[in-house]
């Protein structure tokens, strides 16, 4: 395994940890209204990112938007 592979694996583990932490919080404390407001805010951010098509390539913008939408 190359150092680059190890770095990517470390990033993936960190992202998984954060996502589990958010999911645990969502399951316990957040009511449906709060969840809807949160998801709407995330969608608004994803739409704003999609406006950066001139500054970045289409693939990069799509990847960022998919990543943000994955936070729902």
pTM score, whole prediction: 0.56
Alpha-carbon distance 18 to 12, whole Å?
Answer: 10
Please count the residues of the chain. 72
* pLDDT: which is higher, 4 or 20: 4
> According to the model, what pLDDT value does residue 11 have?
73
Alpha-carbon distance 41 to 52, whole Å?
Answer: 18
- Give per-residue pLDDT as tens, 24-47: 655 555 678 888 898 999 999 999
Q: Give kind and range of the element (H or E) at residue 1.
A: none
């Amino acid at each position: 395994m190359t150092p680059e592979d190890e770095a990517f694996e470390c990033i993936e583990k960190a992202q998984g940890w954060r996502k589990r932490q958010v999911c645990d919080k969502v399951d316990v404390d957040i009511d449906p209204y709060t969840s809807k407001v949160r998801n709407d805010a995330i969608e608004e951010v994803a739409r704003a990112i999609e406006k950066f098509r001139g500054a970045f390539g289409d693939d990069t913008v799509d990847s960022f938007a998919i990543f943000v939408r994955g936070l729902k």
